[in-house]
Amino acid sequence: MLTDHVGAVAPEEDLPDRAIHDRDVEWLNAADAVVAEVTVPSLGVGYEVGRAVAAGTPTLALYRPTGDHELSAMVRGCDAIELVEYNAIKTAAAAIAAFLE
């Protein structure tokens, strides 16, 4: 799911929580596939991944094992999520390209 705020330098426009939620869910519902970086635990990303899986949307989760965070068994144990562990951006990019073929 493409969200404009990912990697943005400037803060997101001043939208109320409901508007952000509804906009992001609309993007999620329109997505043909979802790619999520799940190394650092995030309730928002988990919510989006869960909605994608429930909707039957192909979902790729990228996880960089660093020792700082262990991946949730809920993600690791879900057969509907394609999980790729990576240590370099090049590896993650190749996994994304293969997933989207």
Is residue 72 domain-resident? yes
For residue 47, the domain's CATH number is 3.40.50.450
Is residue 47 domain-resident? yes
Query: Exposed, middle or buried: residue 2 (CB in 10 Å: 0-12, 13-18, 19+)?
Result: exposed
pTM metric for this prediction: 0.85
Q: What does each of the 101 residues of the chain score in pLDDT, given as a tens digit?
A: 455 555 555 556 789 999 999 999 999 999 999 999 999 999 999 999 999 999 999 999 999 998 888 999 999 999 999 999 999 999 999 999 999 99
**Given this model, what pLDDT does residue 12 score?**
61
The total domain count for the chain is 1
One-character DSSP codes across 22-68: HHHHHHHHH-S-EEEE-SS--HHHHHHHHHHHHHT--EEEEE---SS
Is residue 9 domain-resident? no
Is residue 2 domain-resident? no
**Given this model, what pLDDT does residue 30 score?**
96
Is residue 7 domain-resident? no
Query: Exposed, middle or buried: residue 100 (CB in 10 Å: 0-12, 13-18, 19+)?
Result: exposed
Is residue 1 domain-resident? no
Is residue 58 domain-resident? yes
Cβ neighbours of residue 3 closer than 8 Å, sequence gap 6 or more? 24, 27
**Given this model, what pLDDT does residue 14 score?**
84
Is residue 12 domain-resident? no
- Full residue range of the structural domain in which residue 49 is found: 17-100
